[in-house]
Chain A
Amino acid sequence: AQSVTQLGSHVSVSEGALVLLRCNYSSSVPPYLFWYVQYPNQGLQLLLKYTTGATLVKGINGFEAEFKKSETSFHLTKPSAHMSDAAEYFCAVTRISGGSNYKLTFGKGTLLTVNP
């Protein structure tokens, strides 16, 4: 079984401040990890992903995330928040092993508010 916990359903930052969105996962086998972003009234857009290799992954719009196996974490960061970053962010996990059909398990989401 796999699960995802996103700490903080709502995070508020000032424009220019560091953005840190937390994600912890549980998986019995090596995971693939994803961050998706959802702008109001839109579908989900892939922000970045970790599969294998380098544990620090960079995504679109200046976001990055680091896979830490020992901490079972995949936190999302951005050094300087922009007003356009205001959205809901979802962490998701899937299994690499066969038979999973790449079913994604999502966290409950974190709504990011950016204050001017």
Chain B
Amino acid sequence: DAGITQSPRHKVTETGTPVTLRCHQTENHRYMYWYRQDPGHGLRLIHYSYGVKDTDKGEVSDGYSVSRSKTEDFLLTLESATSSQTSVYFCAIKNTGDNEQFFGPGTRLTVL
């Protein structure tokens, strides 16, 4: 298995609070991605990174920000969580020269 961990694995929070999810890899892969999975929607890309300090928006980026200060960590922040951000969040990584992404175990976030 690709060395990807996500923390926390489960989180319950209240509307309006900030939340940060962490994705950590031990593979030294260049590309990292954040997706959210919702019933009936499949997985949708939130943000991605193509190198340290290089990030860009995906299709559902509103309400989310990301940071990547070192190769191994990609942080996803919800500045002020809303109930619509209740979801399962997956991180993925991809190496330069490869074409497939490897996924982490996911974080289940509930916003009350």
Q: Is the interface of B mostly helix, strand, loop or mixed?
A: strand
Residue in B31, B48, B56, B99 whose beta carbon sits within 8 Å of that of A51 in the complex: B99
B43 is an interface residue with CB less than 8 A from chain A: yes
A34 is an interface residue with CB less than 8 A from chain B: yes
Kindly specify which of B12-20, B65-73, B100-108 makes contact with the partner chain. Answer: B100-108
Query: Residues of B contacting A9 with CB < 8 Å?
Result: 40
Query: Residues of A contacting B63 with CB < 8 Å?
Result: none
CA distance A32 to B43 in the complex (A): 17
Residue in B43, B56, B99 whose beta carbon sits within 8 Å of that of A102 in the complex: B99
Asked if residues B42 and A108 are in contact (CB atoms below 8 Å), the reply is: yes
**A contact residues, range:** 20 to 34
Residue in B43, B48, B104 whose beta carbon sits within 8 Å of that of A106 in the complex: B43
B8 is an interface residue with CB less than 8 A from chain A: no
Q: Give min CB distance, B71 to chain A, whole Å.
A: 16
CA distance A35 to B89 in the complex (A): 19
Asked if residues B90 and A44 are in contact (CB atoms below 8 Å), the reply is: yes
Query: Residues of B contacting A109 with CB < 8 Å?
Result: 42
CA distance A92 to B33 in the complex (A): 15
Asked if residues B50 and A32 are in contact (CB atoms below 8 Å), the reply is: no
Query: Residues of B contacting A101 with CB < 8 Å?
Result: 31, 48, 50, 56
B: residues with CB less than 8 A from A are: 31, 33, 35, 40-45, 48, 50, 56, 58, 90, 92, 94, 99-106
